[in-house]
Structure 1
Amino acid sequence: MTLAISPAARAAMAEWLTHLRALDGRADLTVKAYGADVAGYLSFLAHHRGGTEGLAALAQVPLSDLRAWMAHERGRGVAPRSLARSLSAVKGFTGWLAEREGVDATAVLSARAPRFQKKLPRPLSIDAAADVLDSVGDDARSPWVAARDTAVVTLLYGCGLRISEALGLTGADHPLAQVLRIRGKGGKERLVPVLPAARAAVAEYARLCPHDLTATAPLFRGTRGGPLNPRLIAAAMERTRNRLGLPATATPHALRHSFATHLLGAGGDLRAIQELLGHASLSTTQTYTAVDAARLMEVYARTHPRA
């Protein structure tokens, strides 16, 4: 379908995306995805309604037209989860536009997203996580690269960091303090305690690293001295899980899931875990209660004498 978006709508969309990036602090990839979602929606409306319309009309799209767009997307094979994300983007743009134009966008804003089965995180067991940390550097080409990979995965599991957050550390963060100030999604800051094992792993990496870890440069480096590419950590995890016989779900991000699940299983407070992970909503963190419940049911079914 050829895009047929009016110049005014394009300008409004660009202004909204700038707002998301600058004021809401959304990540560049998120802004790009939202822009593609809204552009597709506006293009559909232009074809569906036989031409471009004013901005006020775009903010007051009737529910029938919105449903026609959703049906069109499903007909293209868009999965319910992806369509729910697209609808979230459309709602965000429409709500912003309606406020700017002073009109009512209730029809769009009240639309329900398609239902889909949420995928539960797939954490590693405590023993498997320990095995990964102990052996992730075994296939490295040099001792300093082995120490680097070990330090990164130790931060993911020991502190619950996202890979982007771990690789966002700079030389100024070394040596690691007992508490790190992490800037996560949306530019939100949080304080994360650092285990002695994580501090020791990073210190060993810094001792062996052949590159000058200046205060303003990335802490974790590639072999040529540039910023460490996250794909290299993913590759190290892939080699490790194959060697240990772990499932394909044993990824770098699974270590963050494991951090949360193991804390919860040990009696950790859900609100505290939310703060440690940097989740904006408690409902996101509550996913881990389902994971823990699923694990308990597996143990029950496997071990109960009458099961």
Structure 2
Amino acid sequence: MIDGSPAATDALHHWLDSQRALKNAPETTITAYRHDVARYLGFISQHRGGPQGLAALGDVNLSEIRAWMAHERADGIGARSLARRLSAVKSFYRWLSEREGFDATAILSTRAPRFKAKLPRPLSVDAASEMIERVEVQSETPWIGARDTAVVTLLYGCGLRISEALSLNGAAAPLGDTLRIRGKGGKERIVPVIAPAREAVATYQKLCPFDLTADAPLFRGKRGGALNPRLIQKVMEAARLQLGLPATATPHAMRHSFATHLLSAGGDLRAIQELLGHSSLSTTQTYTAVDTARLMEVYTQAHPKA
């Protein structure tokens, strides 16, 4: 809840609209931005003893932004989450300062807290294959089993995010040798489609009881509406329990597995960056750490002198 002036509240709404329109930000990101900036505005109002207008927001100094960060940490917010919240506040201030004509240097120069980046948790090659096979038999309805298999195969076979797979419409089927994917921030990329993925989608398409029109979602729920990603998460939860896999065996882990297995097989890091749609190579480079960690684990277990 925003404890700010009507002008500050209105500015927040306009900024969120700009993120939707200009940066094509997904609703999950918009919701997180709204929450993070609203908390900040609420803190500044309480810190200064009342709702703050736009001019007052432009006067926030470094000690006040640090006080807000200290308040968040005292409230149990971790370094990673605080860095995300600070990023949202900076983005809001960057937009607001351009609109209102004030200097936002104090906010924009604030350093985010350091945190240790979490490494991706991929599945092994065998576990990824077993996951796809087990997903197929989770439903007694053949077309639903085929649907779930097609989605999970796309995650692993093409390195898609689940949101990207479920955003495909009927015009994408039957799949060709490549797919044009619109990822985060509206960034487009072309990904190759392996034969098992084409075959899995073709099987689903043949069994699906609904008319998969060109402009409607390709993957449907049991009543014909767009498939909810939570259903894929649930079917993978059931499969991982049966296979004895860890809780990290999620839909996103299939994408991690795609990248890690390509790298292990000698894939070029730049090419993998393009396939994943990462804006920065540093994001893709986390997979080299995963590969090295796995190599050391095998070495320790297998070397006779280890």
* Shorter-normalised TM range: over 0.9
Give the Cα separation in 2 of the matches to 1:142 and 1:101: 58
Corresponding residue of 1:249: 248
Give the Cα separation in 1 of the matches to 2:82 and 2:279: 22
Corresponding residue of 2:89: 90
Corresponding residue of 2:129: 130
Q: How does 1:13-28 map to 2 (within 5 A)?
A: 13-28=12-27
SS at match of 2:181: strand
Corresponding residue of 2:289: 290
Change beyond 3 A, Cα 1:144–1:52: closer
How much does 1:103 deviate? Answer: 2.3
How much does 1:205 deviate? Answer: 1.0
Moved over 4 A (4+): none
How much does 1:59 deviate? Answer: 2.8
Q: CA contact under 8 A between 1:60 and 1:107: conserved in structure 2?
A: no
Give the Cα separation in 2 of the matches to 1:56 and 1:274: 42
Corresponding residue of 2:150: 151
1:260 aligns with 2:262: no
1:196 aligns with 2:190: no
Give the Cα separation in 2 of the matches to 1:82 and 1:268: 32
1:40 aligns with 2:39: yes
SS at match of 2:213: coil
Change beyond 3 A, Cα 1:53–1:144: closer
Instruction: Give the aligned residue type for 2:192.
Output: P
RMSD over aligned Cα, in angstroms?
1.4
With normalisation by structure 2, the TM-score equals 0.96
Give the Cα separation in 1 of the matches to 2:82 and 2:76: 10
Give the Cα separation in 2 of the matches to 1:53 and 1:123: 46
Corresponding residue of 1:118: 117
How much does 1:189 deviate? Answer: 1.0
How much does 1:3 deviate? Answer: 4.1
Corresponding residue of 1:7: 6
- Taking every aligned residue pair, what percent have the same amino acid on both sides? 68
Gaps of 5+ in 1: none
Change beyond 3 A, Cα 1:5–1:149: same
The superposition leaves residues 147-189 of structure 1 with CA deviations (integer Å, 9 ceiling, x where unpaired) of 1111111100000011111111111111101110111111111
Q: CA contact under 8 A between 2:44 and 2:52: conserved in structure 1?
A: no
Give the Cα separation in 2 of the matches to 1:3 and 1:172: 42
How much does 1:195 deviate? Answer: 0.3
User: How many residues are aligned here?
Assistant: 306
With normalisation by structure 1, the TM-score equals 0.96
Give the Cα separation in 1 of the matches to 2:7 and 2:162: 39
